[in-house]
Amino acid sequence: MKVAIIGYAISNLGWDVEKTREEHVFEVAKSAIEDAGIDRKDVCTVVSASTDFLDGRTISNCMLIGATGAYLKDESKAEEDGMYAALYAAQRIMAGVHEIALAVSHTHSWIFNPHQISHYMLEPWFDRQNDLLNEITLGALQARIYMNNYGADELDLAEISVKNLRNAANVPYAFRKLHDVTAEEVLEAEMYSDPLTELMISPPCDGAAAVVLASEEVAKEICPNPVWIKGIGNACDNYLRDRDLTRLNSLEIAARRAYRMAGIEEPFREVDVAEISERFAHQELMAYEALGFCREGKGRVLIEEGMTEVYGDIPVNPSGGALAGDPICATGMIRLIEAAKQIRGEAENQVEDCRTALAHAQWGLLAQKNLVFILGDEP
């Protein structure tokens, strides 16, 4: 059973958007349904994604049933990135149970500092006893272990931020847009935990996104330009104490699974654009390798040679990626939507002749689990 994306919406990303979660979620759900050209009543199943800890309330979807239009429908919440909500929605359609699904995601980082919350993702008895550990300090350890192993340096990390933040300058909804930013400015930005400066760390912000998915039959009938899900791969690694931090092993496995399903043998040649969720600049370099765009340890060559620029051989994050705005649970779903926009030719930084797009979401400390979608213009 094939599944297509037939509608989507991304909210403006901001800090303290002065909107309730309910309003924010309602806006994107309504826009995505309108974009799909369907009625709220046509949606059979709804999957939302948010986290209780970030939301400051538990069963955090209980007040959103009106906003998502899920009243008396098949409904679930994923405590993960919104791209996982899209995965579960797609699986419900693939199973033949539903025809049209809505996946919604949101985070309001303004409620409470998500970096503080990352401390509470740590194992409580030993790791959490150390008050210096959180996603940023651990991200810094990951950055340095990767750099030490493969000879990448701070300038390579800075160049990732420069590329993404400049790309974001053209994206109306983006949160951090720096049109003229230079590598020097990235390196001289405020140091949090070396080698990571402020501009190498994704900025938590408020935001929401929604995607409408449909079965092949319905998509062909009602949508003039459906974007087809060609491949899906998902893999979960161990807790970070038991992981090789020099590489994104579970992303490599997820990508391989998605490529196999989509019939992709040479990702560097066959993927036209990739939208990935890099919580830190170095994770984009690591993703180049895990996604098979280059050999292990050679991620820096792609950025040094400009290959991942919008005009390059394998453009990565023309939307600016997570470094341009990180509404945690919506971040991966926004990558999925940006990949779909590339297939439809609607992206702000449009890649030419884009027929195969890759989208990536991560979840858990230092990308413990990774999800990859391959999208295409044909079923």
Partner 1 sequence: MGVVRYEGLPFVARFRWNTGKIMEKFYEKFAEKQIIAARCENCGYTVVPPRMICPKCSSKMDEKNLVNMDGRGVVLSHTVVRKKLDGKGNFIDLNKPEIVAAIKLKGADSQIFVRLGEVEAEELKPGMEVVPVWAEKPEGKPSDLLYFKPG
Task: Give contact residues for partner 1 (rule: CB under 8 A).
Answer: 18, 56, 112-113, 115-116, 119, 124-127, 129-134, 136-138, 140-142, 144-145, 148, 190-196, 238-239, 241-242, 245
Query: Residue 371: how many CB atoms within 10 A of its CB?
Result: 29
C-alpha 340/C-alpha 360 separation (Å) is 12
State which residue, 134 or 308, has the beta carbon closest to partner 1: 134
| 83 class by beta-carbon count within 10 Å (0-12 exposed, 13-18 middle, 19+ buried) | buried
CB of 57 to partner 1, least distance (A): 9
CB of 115 to partner 1, least distance (A): 6
State which residue, 18 or 353, has the beta carbon closest to partner 1: 18
State which residue, 15 or 239, has the beta carbon closest to partner 1: 239
State which residue, 94 or 189, has the beta carbon closest to partner 1: 189
State which residue, 129 or 182, has the beta carbon closest to partner 1: 129
State which residue, 112 or 268, has the beta carbon closest to partner 1: 112
Rg of the chain (C-alpha set): 19
- Going by C-beta distance under 8 Å and a sequence separation of 6 or more, which residues neighbour residue 334? 10, 82, 207, 209, 319, 327
| 364 class by beta-carbon count within 10 Å (0-12 exposed, 13-18 middle, 19+ buried) | middle
Residue whose entry in the numeric block shows the structure tokens 């949606």: 43
**Helix, strand, coil share of the chain (percent; to 5):** 40, 20, 40
Phi and psi at 47, nearest 5°, equal -125, 125
CB of 363 to partner 1, least distance (A): 18
CB of 128 to partner 1, least distance (A): 9
State which residue, 27 or 75, has the beta carbon closest to partner 1: 27
CB of 294 to partner 1, least distance (A): 22
State which residue, 87 or 133, has the beta carbon closest to partner 1: 133
Q: How would you classify the pairing of strands 100-108 and 206-215?
A: antiparallel
CB of 122 to partner 1, least distance (A): 9
State which residue, 44 or 136, has the beta carbon closest to partner 1: 136
CB of 140 to partner 1, least distance (A): 4
Q: What is the dihedral of CA 269, 271, 276, 278, to 10 degrees?
A: 0
Contact 226, 4 (CB under 8 A): yes
Contact 114, 204 (CB under 8 A): yes
CB of 250 to partner 1, least distance (A): 13
- 3-class SS at 50? coil
Q: Which amino acid is at 131?
A: D
CB of 253 to partner 1, least distance (A): 15
Residue whose entry in the numeric block shows the structure tokens 């049209």: 100
